[in-house]
């Protein structure tokens, strides 16, 4: 009788232990997602917050070697801004040349990283000046000014880190949309062909553009 009682109690104990294990496993499964969610780092939680970032960039490039740009970036998806770029007084093929441009700028980051597709659109002013000889009266200064509306599609990279540093490079082509030309030479005199070539190349033709370096701060 004693042996029979012990052999009958063993299955009840096993069943109780089995149900206890099942209950513990179920509770662990239900609570683990909440624990994992609560243990996510602040950076992981803020990655999904859509915030605007404001910054200033300086640039070196071609055809206007110096540039400064203010921009606003939204959620690593879009960045829009305004840019002023210029060429200091420089002699090109014997022609004293200066030009500057004001442009609106937009970038789209299709993959959420540094790669972007963008475009500038704006107005460029170019001055070319040289001295011409007018026989028998001597010499005269010949100047030519070209004002151009342009579109500049381009592709490149612009990385904006959480530390505030921004670094970029891009390339594209500047397409003239409309241009007007004025000259200071008296009627009947022909402008120096060198001035015309510079004006045609930089003011009235499609030219490649490249930003060798964009460096700045984005907050």
Residue 34 shares a structural domain with residue 70: no
Q: What digits encode the pLDDT tens for the residues 170-193? A: 999 999 999 998 887 766 667 778
**Is 16 found in the same domain as 115?**
no
- Same domain assignment for residues 127 and 210: yes
d(CA 42, CA 160): 19
How many H-runs (helices) and E-runs (strands) does the chain carry? 3, 8
Tell me the two tokens of residue 51: 């915030």
The H-assigned helical ranges of 96-203 are: 193-203
Percent of the chain with pLDDT over 70: 70
Domain with 128 in it: what CATH number? 2.40.160
Say whether both 14 and 51 belong to one domain.
no
- Pair 77, 93 in one domain: yes
Answer yes or no: do 66 and 26 share one domain.
Answer: no
Residue 7 burial by CB count (10 A; 0-12/13-18/19+): exposed, middle or buried?
exposed
| pTM assigned to the model | 0.72
80, 71 contact by CB (below 8 A): yes
- Domain residue limits at 173: 45-218
Same domain, 56 and 35: no
Q: How many domains does the chain have?
A: 2
Domain shared by 138 and 180, yes or no: yes
Cβ(126)–Cβ(96) below 8 Å: no
The 10s digit of each residue's pLDDT in 129-172 is: 877 665 555 666 778 899 999 999 999 999 999 899 999 999 99
Segment 31-62, tens digit of pLDDT: 444 444 445 444 444 444 458 999 999 999 99
> Are 29 and 12 found together in one domain?
yes
Query: Contact, 84 vs 101, CB < 8 A?
Result: yes
Tell me if 192 sits within 8 A of 92, measured CB to CB: no
Same-domain check for residues 34 and 54: no
54 and 23 in a common domain? no
187: buried, middle or exposed (CB in 10 Å: 19+, 13-18, 0-12)? exposed
63 shares a domain with 8: no
Q: Considering only residues 95 and 57, tell me which one the structure prediction assigns the higher pLDDT.
A: 57
Give the residue carrying structure tokens 């014997």: 94
Arithmetic mean of pLDDT over the chain: 81
Task: Write out pLDDT tens, residues 107-137.
Answer: 999 998 999 999 999 999 999 887 766 555 5
Structure tokens at 172: 């594209």
In the numeric block, the tokens 């004001």 are attached to 102
């Amino acid at each position: 009788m004693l042996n029979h009682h012990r052999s009958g109690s063993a299955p009840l104990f096993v069943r109780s232990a089995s149900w206890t294990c099942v209950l513990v496993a179920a509770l662990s499964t239900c609570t683990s997602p909440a624990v994992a969610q609560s243990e996510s780092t602040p950076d992981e939680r803020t990655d999904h917050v859509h915030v605007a970032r404001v910054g200033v960039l300086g640039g070196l490039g071609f055809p206007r070697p110096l540039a400064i740009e203010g921009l606003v970036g939204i959620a690593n998806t879009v960045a829009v801004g305004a840019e002023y770029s210029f060429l200091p007084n420089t002699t090109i093929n014997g022609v004293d040349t200066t030009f500057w441009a004001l442009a609106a700028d937009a970038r789209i980051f299709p993959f959420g990283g540094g790669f972007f597709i963008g475009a500038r659109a704006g107005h460029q002013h170019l001055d070319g000046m040289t001295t011409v000889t007018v026989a028998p009266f001597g010499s005269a200064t010949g100047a030519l000014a070209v004002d151009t509306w342009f579109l500049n599609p381009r592709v490149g990279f612009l990385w904006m880190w959480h530390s505030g540093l921004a670094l970029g490079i891009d390339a594209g082509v500047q397409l003239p949309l409309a241009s007007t030309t004025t000259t200071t030479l008296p009627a009947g005199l022909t402008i120096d062909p060198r001035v015309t070539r510079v004006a045609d190349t930089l003011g009235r033709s499609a030219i490649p553009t490249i930003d060798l370096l964009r460096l700045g701060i984005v907050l």
